């Protein structure tokens, strides 16, 4: 009989348990699989994913060939560009080959969860209830006789004579042959993932890449657009500067918040943003051509109001009005009377809206943790530790962070599948 302990009943832990039990079953190996969960219930973070709707993976990089079992490498290469670094992509490649985004869809459909795919490739349960995904995972665990122990935080792991002794907060020590650490990162700690995995892994000899919040909005100094909080702007160009050096340029939808900015273009690049950076938005989509557009439109529409001119040139109404208000330009004045100086001011505000970053994300509100257990010490083909045989890792506890759009859950599912299967070998 092989005994496997899985730490954490999040998506990575639950799918690891299913994978281990299914692999043991198909090889006719007798296995005892126990999941230890710190919270009174499994999957607390999973329940709040995608605002409770659970964006479980992404199919936007699919090839035209959608027959079951096909997964072209070109698609995978594109899929991998949605993760934090080239090293992460290299590490994840085998796990994604072994369990693709298409496999995730097939897996949940097989468990009886109807799914739906949005135009942008994001996949959700058709009910848009994250609870349906969690229930399916838990039910499959029960069907496979996996034991899920809740209110059972693991506080210590010791490795002696090829066995692991696990100590939970209150109950006696239990001994296992294999363990999978799937306790998540350290952001949104109220959900249970509060960085325990780093301490447990460090004590077992693993290195930790310094964890920091990722996938987060930013707050800025002297926020002049806070009165527009809640407004989303489509396909905005963003540039990030540090000490006069351009750090990155990106485009995407942006959300104005009370304290700063959020939305995909900010959130997906937040791992690169540091306090004190200068963030610059081009609301016009036109860059250096915008001044010419303004001048031409002002000439053609001499009788229009300046506020109307700015909107006509592509700036959303409330943003246009606020920009004029901040720069003390009378929007009700006729275009025929606009000065060259004011045209330049409007151009500058619309194409290079600047702010200094006050805070680039907090642990309490960032969706994922960048950093974690160093993937250099993990075999990418099995998720097994290179330091201690029989020790496996899965999910966000690893130094892996994806963009929004289902990429983080897919990483949890793919690494969990691989860890579970290999733990019972
Ligand atoms: C608000 C929000 C929305 C999100 N939306 C999406 C989305 O739509 N799509 C997407 O792909 N990703 C999304 N994410 C990210 C995604 O939720 C995580 O990447 C994913 O849950 C990681 O899975 P995991 O199993 O590795 O860790 P977790 O889900 O964090 O699970 C770890 C589990 O381990 C338990 N645990 C911790 N310490 C111990 C211990 N010492 N002993 C025992 N158990 C322990 C925790 O209680 C927890 O249940 C979102 C995150 C947040 C915060």
- Asked if residue 91 and residue 147 are part of one domain, the reply reads yes
Q: Which of 132, 135, 138 lies closest to 114 in space, CA to CA?
A: 132
Q: Is the CB of 342 under 6 A from ligand 1?
A: no
- Asked if residue 139 and residue 87 are part of one domain, the reply reads yes
Residue to mutate, 7, 9, 10, 365, ligand 1, most ligand atoms under 8 Å from C-beta = 10
Whether the Cβ atoms of residue 343 and residue 329 lie closer than 8 Å to each other: no
Which domain-ending residue is among 361, 378, 405?
A: 361
Query: Which residue puts its alpha carbon closest to atom 53 of ligand 1?
Result: 367
Phi, psi at residue 402, to the nearest 5°? -105, 175
- Asked if residue 413 and residue 318 are part of one domain, the reply reads no
- Asked if residue 78 and residue 118 are part of one domain, the reply reads yes
- Asked if residue 223 and residue 208 are part of one domain, the reply reads no
Counted domains in the chain: 2
β strands within 217-335, DSSP E: 218-220, 232-242, 245-256, 260-262, 278-282
pLDDT band with cut points at 50, 70 and 90 for residue 38: very high
β-sheet with 163-168: strand ranges across: 154-160, 163-168, 174-176
Q: Dump pLDDT digits (tens) for 85-103.
A: 999 999 999 999 999 999 9
Which residues are CB-contacts of 339 (< 8 A; sequence separation ≥ 6)? Answer: none
Q: Dump pLDDT digits (tens) for 362-386.
A: 888 899 999 999 999 999 999 999 9
Q: What average pLDDT does range 382-407 have in this prediction? A: 97
- Asked if residue 162 and residue 133 are part of one domain, the reply reads yes
- Asked if residue 299 and residue 203 are part of one domain, the reply reads no
Instruction: Provide the domain limits for residue 229.
Output: 217-361
Q: Is the CB of 255 under 6 A from ligand 1?
A: no
- Asked if residue 386 and residue 352 are part of one domain, the reply reads no
How far apart are alpha carbons 347 and 41 in whole angstroms? 54
Handedness of CA 357, 362, 368, 373 (dihedral sign): positive
Global pTM reads: 0.90
CA distances from 59 to 73, 123, 284 (A): 14, 7, 30
Mean of the per-residue pLDDT values for the chain?
Answer: 93
- Asked if residue 105 and residue 187 are part of one domain, the reply reads yes
**C-alpha of residue 395 to centroid of ligand 1, in Å:** 8
> What's the token pair of residue 272?
């690169």
Q: Given phi > 0 = left and psi -120 to 50 = alpha, else beta, which region is 202?
A: alpha
CATH number at residue 204: 3.50.50.60
Which ligand 1 atom minimizes the distance to the CA of 409? 11
- Asked if residue 347 and residue 224 are part of one domain, the reply reads yes
Which domain-ending residue is among 310, 336, 361?
A: 361
- Asked if residue 279 and residue 205 are part of one domain, the reply reads no
Q: Is the CB of 238 under 6 A from ligand 1?
A: no
- Asked if residue 182 and residue 137 are part of one domain, the reply reads yes
**C-alpha of residue 333 to centroid of ligand 1, in Å:** 54
Residue given tokens 């709040």 in the structure block: 48
Q: Which of 188, 154, 146, 134 lies closest to 12 in space, CA to CA?
A: 134
Which domain-ending residue is among 361, 380, 414?
A: 361
Q: Dump pLDDT digits (tens) for 104-124.
A: 999 999 999 999 999 989 999
**Residue 73 above 60 pLDDT?**
no
How far apart are alpha carbons 125 and 287 in whole angstroms? 40
Q: Is 311 helix (H, G, I), strand (E, B) or coil?
A: helix
């Amino acid at each position: 009989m092989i005994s496997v302990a899985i730490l954490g009943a999040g998506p990575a832990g639950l799918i690891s348990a299913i994978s281990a039990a299914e692999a043991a079953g198909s090889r006719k190996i007798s296995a005892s699989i126990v999941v230890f969960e710190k919270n009174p219930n499994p999957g607390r973070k999973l329940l709040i994913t995608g605002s409770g709707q659970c964006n479980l993976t992404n199919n936007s990089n699919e090839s035209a060939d959608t027959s079951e079992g096909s997964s072209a490498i070109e698609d995978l290469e594109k899929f991998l560009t949605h993760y934090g670094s080239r090293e992460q992509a290299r590490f994840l490649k085998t796990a994604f080959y072994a369990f693709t985004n298409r496999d995730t869809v097939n897996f949940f459909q097989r468990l009886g969860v109807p799914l739906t795919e949005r135009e942008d490739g994001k996949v959700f349960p058709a009910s848009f209830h994250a609870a349906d995904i969690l229930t399916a995972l838990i039910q499959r665990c029960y069907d496979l006789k996996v034991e899920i122990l809740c209110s059972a935080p693991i506080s210590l792991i010791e490795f002696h004579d090829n066995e692991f002794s696990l100590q939970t907060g209150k109950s006696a020590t239990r001994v296992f042959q294999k363990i999978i650490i799937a306790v998540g990162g350290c952001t949104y700690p109220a959900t249970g993932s509060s960085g325990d995995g780093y301490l447990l892994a460090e004590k077992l000899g693993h290195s930790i890449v310094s964890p920091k919040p990722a996938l987060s909005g930013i707050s800025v100094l002297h926020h002049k657009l806070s009165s527009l909080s809640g407004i989303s702007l489509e396909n905005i160009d963003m540039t990030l500067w540090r000490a006069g050096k351009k750090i990155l340029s990106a485009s995407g939808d942006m959300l104005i918040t009370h304290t700063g900015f959020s939305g995909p273009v900010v959130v997906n690049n937040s791992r690169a943003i540091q306090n004190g950076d200068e963030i610059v938005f081009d609301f016009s989509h036109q860059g250096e051509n915008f001044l010419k557009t303004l001048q031409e439109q002002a000439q053609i529409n001499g009788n229009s109001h300046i506020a109307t001119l700015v909107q006509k040139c592509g700036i959303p109404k409330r943003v246009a009005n606020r920009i004029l208000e901040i720069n003390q330009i009378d929007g009700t004045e006729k275009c025929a009377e606009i000065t060259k100086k004011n045209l330049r001011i409007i151009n500058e505000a619309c194409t290079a809206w600047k702010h200094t970053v006050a805070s680039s994300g907090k642990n309490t509100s960032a969706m994922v943790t960048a950093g974690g257990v160093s993937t250099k010490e993990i075999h990418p083909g099995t998720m097994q530790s290179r330091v201690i045989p029989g020790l496996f890792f899965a999910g966000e506890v690893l130094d892996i962070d994806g963009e929004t759009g289902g990429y983080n859950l897919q990483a949890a599912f793919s690494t969990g599948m691989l860890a579970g299967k290999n733990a019972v070998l």
